[in-house]
Amino acid sequence: MRMMSIASGSSGNSIYVGSDTTHILVDAGISKKRIEEGLRTLDLCGDDINALLITHEHSDHIGGLGVFLRKYNVPVYATEGTIEAIKASGDTKKVDMSLFHPIRNDERFTIRDIEINAMSISHDAADPVAYRFKNEGVKTAVVTDLGEYNEVIEQALKGLSAVYIEANHDIRMLETGPYPYQLKKRILGKRGHLSNEACGRLLSDILGEKMQHIFLSHLSAENNLPELAYESVRLEIEMGDTDFHGNDFPIDISHRDRPGMIIEL
């Protein structure tokens, strides 16, 4: 499998996951043009995409969806609640709604040679999910926008070869930062976003022999710094109840404004 971050953060998210013959995008929260530019670095174009998976309806995940779908007839997979919320947002005017395929959270489905599990996550959206992918015994996952995680998520993320995981904020930077009280409370809440520390703890629980690459993603521009996210996550792994160390795996920060490296698994 191959995996690449096209863009990551509250200004827009889009992630590529594919095999030799199957090409999937998770979320379309950036412009069609930027998605096309990202795909070009993979020698792909919009017509090559076999499926677009949406995690939830927040604008940083669907902001470019309507424009993308008006140009490319790509089937879209999302939970019923997410599809309803997307329709209500009005972003998909003049889009062929027969492209939308409802999936159930905690359900498994297949796009050509990639098996996909949608997993329910705790976030303040209609019916948000994370996705796990499997192809030829290699497993990877995209897990962003969650305020907390449970044992079901921990179990589902074991045995991965790569994980694209949220490290949204440094708790102290958020607490002392400029955001209004209500917004701070929302981000720190159970249906908010994963802190660097919580990300490191979740990683400690799921790290295994097969892990080859960790993408830290959805970093807050105001309440985090790339080096801080990296160091906090490594420290949590060092202190965590795991045989692995913070330096055992490449940990890469996904950028807000440009594609990251292409990872071959």
CA dist 252 to 154, 163, 217, Å? 21, 11, 9
Q: Which is nearer to Zn ion, 57 or 252 (CB)?
A: 57
Alpha-helical segments (H) within 8-150: 32-41, 59-62, 65-71, 80-89
> What residues from 196 to 235 belong to the interface with Zn ion (CB under 5 A)?
none
Closest contact distance (angstroms) between CB of 20 and Zn ion is 30
> What residues from 160 to 189 belong to the interface with Zn ion (CB under 5 A)?
none
Q: Which is nearer to Zn ion, 95 or 129 (CB)?
A: 129
154: left (phi over 0), alpha (psi -120 to 50) or beta: alpha
What mask, x for binding Zn ion by CB under 5 A, covers residues 122 to 161? -----------------------x----------------
Q: Which is nearer to Zn ion, 60 or 252 (CB)?
A: 60
Q: Which is nearer to Zn ion, 58 or 184 (CB)?
A: 58
User: What is the chain's alpha carbon radius of gyration, rounded to the nearest angstrom?
Assistant: 17
> What residues from 46 to 105 belong to the interface with Zn ion (CB under 5 A)?
58, 60
How many residues line the site for Zn ion (CB under 5 A)? 3
**236: nearest Cα among 171, 153, 177, 192:** 171
Count of Cβ atoms closer than 10 Å to residue 39 Cβ: 22
Binding site for Zn ion (CB under 5 A): 58, 60, 145
